[in-house]
Amino acid sequence: MASHTAEPATSDTRTTVTSAAVLDAALTLFAQRGYHGTALSQVAEALGIRTPSLYNHMRSKQELLQTIVAGTTAGVLQDFEAAVEGVSDPVERLRRATRVYALRHATHRREALIVNRDTPSLDEPARSEQQEQRRKHEHALRAIIAEGVAGGAMSVESPALASFAIREMCVSIARWFREDGPFSAEQVADQYSRFALQIAGAR
């Protein structure tokens, strides 16, 4: 996996830039400054090359954003399905679904920040497609809570409200988590999945 810290422009080591390196630099800068707040000249500078050379490795700035967002939302849905597959108890399904969702936001911070901030900057039809994908995950999580409530294993006034609260609580991990902080990604994920069960009133 590519390093998260792009090579400084002052380092005069000869650079062999790849598409993956361009994507990695874009991930770091888009996450820091936002899509509209990042100039391609800054991406190029982080890689130690001139702006036009970027076009040997990508088609456009917009394509970089689409690649980042599409890959991330696909990963979220894959994670979800793998986590709940074969588990029928709604409480255990909710625990696993939120644990993996929280874990992803601690381990893929840049991707999460960009998806949540810059999805509106996608051109159509990518924008609508991505919103639809995110809605899928939202509804799947909500369905687990609704099922738990129906079966008496959970208690909440509105599954929709609880689902929103749980999701966004997990998403926000990307804003404060630090790899060198006091908690590991797994510890945070365990704690947050416990919070999720408490929000859902799981007995």
Partner DNA sequence: CCTACCGATCGGTAGG
| Angle (deg, nearest 10), helices 61-84 and 126-150 | 20
CA 9 – CA 174 distance, rounded (Å): 27
Angle at 18 between CA 13 and CA 21, to 5 degrees: 80
CA 114 – CA 99 distance, rounded (Å): 21
Question: What's the Cα-to-Cα distance from 78 to each of 34, 41, 82, 116, 144, rounded to whole Å?
Answer: 26, 34, 6, 18, 17
Nearer to DNA, 26 or 149 (CB): 26
The span of 2-10, 51-59, 65-73, 157-165 binding a copy of itself (CB under 8 A) equals: 157-165
Q: What is the DSSP letter of 59?
A: S
Q: Does 191 bind a copy of itself (CB under 8 A)?
A: yes
Residue 52 binding partner per list a copy of itself, DNA, none, with a CB distance cut-off of 5 to 8 Å that depends on partner kind: DNA
Nearer to a copy of itself, 21 or 114 (CB): 114
- Cβ atoms 184, 130 nearer than 8 A: no
Residue 169 binding partner per list a copy of itself, DNA, none, with a CB distance cut-off of 5 to 8 Å that depends on partner kind: a copy of itself
Residue of the chain from 53, 62, 121, 131 that contacts a copy of itself (CB under 8 A): 121
Binders of DNA among 49-78, rule CB under 7 A?
Answer: 49-53, 55-57, 60-62
The residues that touch a copy of itself, with contacts defined as CB under 8 A, are 32-37, 117, 120-121, 157-158, 161-162, 164-165, 167-169, 171-173, 175-176, 183, 188, 191-192, 195, 198-199, 201
